[in-house]
Amino acid sequence: MAAPQIDPFARIVHRFATAGKLQAAGAMLNWDAQTHMPPGGAWARGEQMAAITEVSADLVGSEAAAAELAEAEALANKLEPDDRSDLAEMRREHIHASAAPKELLAARSRVAQTLQAVWTRAKPENDWKSFAPGFAELLTITREIAHAKAEALGTTPYGALIDAYDPGVGEALIDPIFAELAAVLPDLIAEVRERQAGWPDPIPFGEIPVERQAALSHRLALAVGHDPDRFRIDAAPHPFSVPHSPGDVRFTTRYDTHQVKFSINATLHEAGHAMYEANLPRAFAFRPGGMARGMTAHESQSLSLEKMAGRSREFLTWLAPRMAEEFGGDPARWSVSNVLNAWRRLDEGFIRVEADELSYPLHVILRYRLEQALIAGDLQPADAPGAWDDLFQKLLGRRPPDLAHGCLQDIHWAAGLMGYFPNYAMGSMLAAQLFERATADDAEILPALGQGDFTPYFAWVRPRVHERASLVSFADLVETATGAPLRADAFKRHVRRRYLEESLD
């Protein structure tokens, strides 16, 4: 990648942006694999993805990269602040790509690849025994990687794993928030449950054909503000949005003819992720400093749209008659009161991705505590299922009936994604804190949502979150946008208001 007669900063930008473009290509090929690829393509696609991973890791983590990076850093004081931030992100990416031996990273990919296939069979068969050996092996490798990265980053080993997804959201920030949530949410849930016991049963929405749901999803994406020339929605069993694709944001949703809420919630959620990506600064496209700030910030944007705005009384009041238009049938189904009733109900299940707004953080806290203990060596993999069930009982007051509803429900551990879960709950905290501040700063935001208009909301969040990309730290981002560091307070106020004060009328 030598580029003669070019200044050291331009050279290092070119190197990392090239890696960023390859990763963007990989993200698009992953989208294709989940939406359009014929089944026969799995092997070739795996080979292509592995080549992209290897080459981009080499671009970012090689000794040549280290030398070029050091040369650019020596001149850092001459750079504009945004470029300095970009350079700091390059250093972080370099550490993640180089701190652990290559062979160890390759071994993690290989073992995780196999373990995901094992997990797919083991989960429905309630079969811990076949899952355990691979999981133990993957955990050993992950701990070694965590220790190597921790040394280079100056974090705890588990903190180093989180840092790969979410720099600036370490255990020091998470621990007190999760402790507070674990202390207050169980009682709050009991209180809400008692209140909802007095509500009438919601009228079922009935069976809604996929085409009708797809039409509403498209309409929602446009209402949110996506440009029809710059996005597309497709269907996928596990909804996701595609990063690093300026001018062409793609997201997926899922359709269940018996559960119209699934597509509406997934569409709003992914449209929120996609809007963050769409608004990232073009001048820093594909550069480390131009990426979203991390997974907590990303999840805050999907949750702001799905839950804060998308489940507000105002928005549901706008949505209910649109559902009546698109879906038809008995109009009583689509009364605002019935829609609120269906959308507000707490669930009594065991599955994280189907959990209500109040239980959801507890599902995450459970995983966080088990991961901490597994990485610290305080919990042996063999004891994980029991520890899961005990903690579930303690936090949510019931006991999973089997592993598919317990320790084997998520693919993350099979995929080697440790340190990823916390952002799902931290994102809820940030979403609440941002939304509270936004609606306080601009009194038009909520009334506009009542008209299906997201313009005032995005006018607030776009310059304060989206356009700042990774050019500021997570702490800076939160404090500048909301005037305070991240806490659980806004979330607590939000759920009390929505679940204990709002009525169905």
Nearer Cβ to a copy of itself, position 227 or 348?
227
User: Judged by CB under 8 A, which of 8, 21, 195, 452 binds a copy of itself?
Assistant: 21
The least CB distance from residue 265 to a copy of itself, in Å, is 24
Nearer Cβ to a copy of itself, position 32 or 144?
32
Instruction: Pick out residues in 31-50 that bind a copy of itself (CB under 8 A).
Output: 32, 36-45, 47-48, 50
Q: What's phi and psi for 251, nearest 5 deg?
A: -140, 165
Q: Is 444 a catalytic residue?
A: no
Which of helix, strand or coil describes residue 262? helix
Does 74 bind a copy of itself (CB under 8 A)? Our answer is no
Nearer Cβ to a copy of itself, position 22 or 88?
22
Q: Which stretch binds a copy of itself (CB under 8 A): 24-32, 450-458, 473-481, 495-503?
A: 24-32
**CA 435 – CA 300 distance, rounded (Å):** 10
The least CB distance from residue 406 to a copy of itself, in Å, is 34
**CA 384 – CA 478 distance, rounded (Å):** 35
Quick check: 89 and 122 in contact, CB under 8 A? no
Alpha helices in 62-156 (DSSP H): 63-74, 81-98, 102-122, 128-153
Which of helix, strand or coil describes residue 112? helix
Tracing tokens 């928030």 back to the chain, one arrives at 177
Beta-bridged to residue 251, according to DSSP, are 233, 241
Binding-residue total with a copy of itself (CB under 8 A)? 42
In single-letter form, the type of residue at position 104 comes to: L
The least CB distance from residue 18 to a copy of itself, in Å, is 5
Does 246 bind a copy of itself (CB under 8 A)? Our answer is yes
Tokens of 341: 């009733």
Nearer Cβ to a copy of itself, position 22 or 495?
22
Does 77 bind a copy of itself (CB under 8 A)? Our answer is no
Instruction: Give CA separation, 303 vs 27, 142, 174, 180, 422, in Å.
Output: 22, 29, 18, 20, 14
Nearer Cβ to a copy of itself, position 95 or 233?
233
- Lay out the site mask for a copy of itself across 202-231 (x = CB under 8 A, - = otherwise): -------------------------xxxxx
The least CB distance from residue 252 to a copy of itself, in Å, is 13
- Kindly name the residue from 89, 270, 299, 306 that is annotated as catalytic: 270
DSSP 40: G
The least CB distance from residue 47 to a copy of itself, in Å, is 5
Could you count the other beta carbons within 10 Å of the beta carbon of residue 144?
Answer: 16
User: Judged by CB under 8 A, which of 6, 10, 55, 70 binds a copy of itself?
Assistant: 55
Instruction: Give CA separation, 501 vs 185, 313, 440, 494, in Å.
Output: 16, 12, 19, 10
User: Judged by CB under 8 A, which of 8, 18, 104, 314 binds a copy of itself?
Assistant: 18
Quick check: 151 and 96 in contact, CB under 8 A? no
Q: Which stretch binds a copy of itself (CB under 8 A): 21-29, 197-205, 399-407, 417-425?
A: 21-29
Does 53 bind a copy of itself (CB under 8 A)? Our answer is no
Q: Which stretch binds a copy of itself (CB under 8 A): 25-33, 320-328, 419-427, 447-455?
A: 25-33
The least CB distance from residue 371 to a copy of itself, in Å, is 33
**CA 134 – CA 126 distance, rounded (Å):** 16
Nearer Cβ to a copy of itself, position 103 or 501?
103
Share of the chain residues as helix, strand and coil, in percent rounded to the nearest 5: 70, 0, 30
DSSP string, 486-505: --SHHHHHHHHIIIII----
**CA 76 – CA 69 distance, rounded (Å):** 10
Cα angle, residue 16 at apex, residues 13 and 21 outer, rounded to 5°: 115
Quick check: 343 and 261 in contact, CB under 8 A? yes
Nearer Cβ to a copy of itself, position 25 or 188?
25
Instruction: Pick out residues in 314-333 that bind a copy of itself (CB under 8 A).
Output: none
Strands (E), 137-285: 231-235, 249-253
The least CB distance from residue 17 to a copy of itself, in Å, is 8
- Lay out the site mask for a copy of itself across 272-291 (x = CB under 8 A, - = otherwise): -------------xx-----
**CA 420 – CA 411 distance, rounded (Å):** 12
Nearer Cβ to a copy of itself, position 59 or 169?
59
Does 100 bind a copy of itself (CB under 8 A)? Our answer is no
Q: Which residues are catalytic?
A: 270
Residues within the interface to a copy of itself (CB under 8 A): 1, 17-18, 21-22, 24-26, 28-29, 32, 36-45, 47-48, 50-52, 54-55, 58-59, 227-232, 245-248, 285-286
